[in-house]
């Protein structure tokens, strides 16, 4: 693939961001990494040969596009608009063809994304929200599913080749914020399905049903779901609890979905229940625990 004219500043070189940025570099983009954790930035540079920037301002001076892969929407806003007086947003793409573009691939709050888009527009920078699904394994092999929210068609066209270097399924979810809304609502639905399957196994066992027997019945009947077929069967039954998706992230996404329902005036009582249950699990087991370990709390015994 010929080199791209875009220089991509990749902000957030953690477990997901590092392989995503590496795939961009392999696809012909000039990538400059930035992470507040200098060790993470140095590890990325050593593994890929890419340059890194010491500050957001330095990144803005070199890049035309900034991709953010950060813990929360609040952190995204802080890096773009608050650190160094908002140097990253103000300097991104200045004097370069097309101006500045930010692609937020974090799991951010949809309403906050719309507000961020307005603040960036005042600085001449376009925003695309493009959260991902697939985990570290798919980040590494470039097969993430990416949900895209965007108002500006020219920004969408600029973002598309960058996104296709990291994912093999792009979904145009709708206007700005729609990608973040779709990601949170998907994970909320997944969390609810996992919770229901876990409760079914716990209740069934208390009645005298063997868990494996009941799960086989569910997976061959209308109760079947992704969570009953994979995490429940592969992680919960053998007590391995190793999907790689952290409990804190699940609790965060469920909370985003529940808060979105409230923001748009929809009474969604199940979402409120899920928000409380997953928040309690995160508090009890810690945000870095695998999300499937929530079952051990719901079983009523000591957490494993």
Q: Which sequence positions are flagged as catalytic? A: 183
Question: Domain of 237: which CATH number?
Answer: 1.10.1040.10
Same domain, 129 and 222: no
pTM: 0.92
Rounded distance between C-alpha atoms, residue 286 and residue 70, angstroms: 19
CA 213 to chain centre: 34
Q: What pLDDT is stored for residue 241 in this prediction?
A: 97
**Domain's final residue, options 175, 198, 225:** 175
Q: What pLDDT is stored for residue 1 in this prediction?
A: 44
CA-CA-CA-CA torsion sign (90, 95, 96, 99):
positive
Q: What pLDDT is stored for residue 85 in this prediction?
A: 92
Q: Is 224 helix (H, G, I), strand (E, B) or coil?
A: coil
pLDDT by 10-residue block (mean), the chain, 304 residues: 74 96 96 96 96 95 95 96 94 74 97 97 95 92 97 95 97 98 96 98 97 98 96 97 93 97 98 98 96 96 67
| Other beta carbons less than 10 A from residue 165's beta carbon | 21
**Domain's final residue, options 126, 143, 175:** 175
Same domain, 274 and 199: yes
Same domain, 168 and 192: no
Question: Domain of 160: which CATH number?
Answer: 3.40.50.720
Residue 108: Cβ-neighbour burial (10 angstroms; 0-12, 13-18, 19+): buried
The tally of domains found in the chain comes to: 2
Same domain, 198 and 112: no
Same domain, 62 and 145: yes
Look at residues 35, 57, 73, 64 and name the one whose alpha carbon lies nearest to residue 176: 73
Q: What pLDDT is stored for residue 2 in this prediction?
A: 43
Q: What pLDDT is stored for residue 244 in this prediction?
A: 87
Task: Please give the residue range of the domain that contains residue 196.
Answer: 181-298
**Domain's final residue, options 175, 202, 225:** 175
């Amino acid at each position: 693939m010929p080199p791209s004219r875009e220089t991509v500043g990749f902000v957030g070189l953690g477990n997901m961001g590092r392989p995503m940025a590496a795939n961009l570099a392999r696809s012909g983009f000039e990538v400059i990494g930035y992470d507040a954790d200098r060790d993470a930035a140095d590890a990325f540079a050593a593994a890929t040969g890419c340059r890194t920037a010491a500050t957001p301002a330095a990144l803005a001076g070199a890049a035309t596009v900034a991709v953010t892969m950060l813990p929360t929407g609040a952190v995204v806003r802080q890096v773009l608009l608050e650190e160094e007086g908002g140097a990253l947003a103000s300097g991104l793409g200045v004097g370069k063809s097309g101006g500045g573009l930010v692609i937020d691939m974090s799991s951010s709050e949809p309403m906050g994304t719309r507000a961020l888009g307005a603040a960036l527009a005042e600085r001449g920078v376009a925003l695309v929200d493009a959260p991902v699904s697939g985990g570290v394994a798919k980040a590494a092999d470039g097969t993430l599913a990416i949900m895209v929210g965007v108002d500006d068609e020219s920004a969408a066209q600029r973002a598309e080749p960058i996104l296709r270097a990291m994912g093999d399924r792009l979904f145009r979810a709708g206007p700005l914020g729609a990608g973040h809304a779709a990601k949170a609502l998907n994970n909320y639905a997944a969390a609810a399905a996992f919770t229901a399957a876990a409760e079914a196994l716990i209740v069934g066992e208390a009645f005298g049903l063997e868990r494996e027997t009941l799960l086989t019945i569910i997976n061959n009947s209308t109760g079947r779901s992704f969570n009953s077929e994979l995490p429940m069967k592969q992680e919960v039954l053998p007590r391995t609890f190793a999907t790689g998706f952290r409990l804190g992230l699940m609790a965060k996404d469920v909370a985003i979905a529940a808060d979105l329902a409230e923001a748009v005036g929809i009474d969604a009582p199940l979402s409120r229940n899920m928000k409380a249950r997953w928040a309690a699990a995160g508090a009890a087991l810690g945000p870095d625990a695998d999300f499937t370990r929530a079952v051990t709390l719901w079983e009523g015994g000591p957490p494993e």
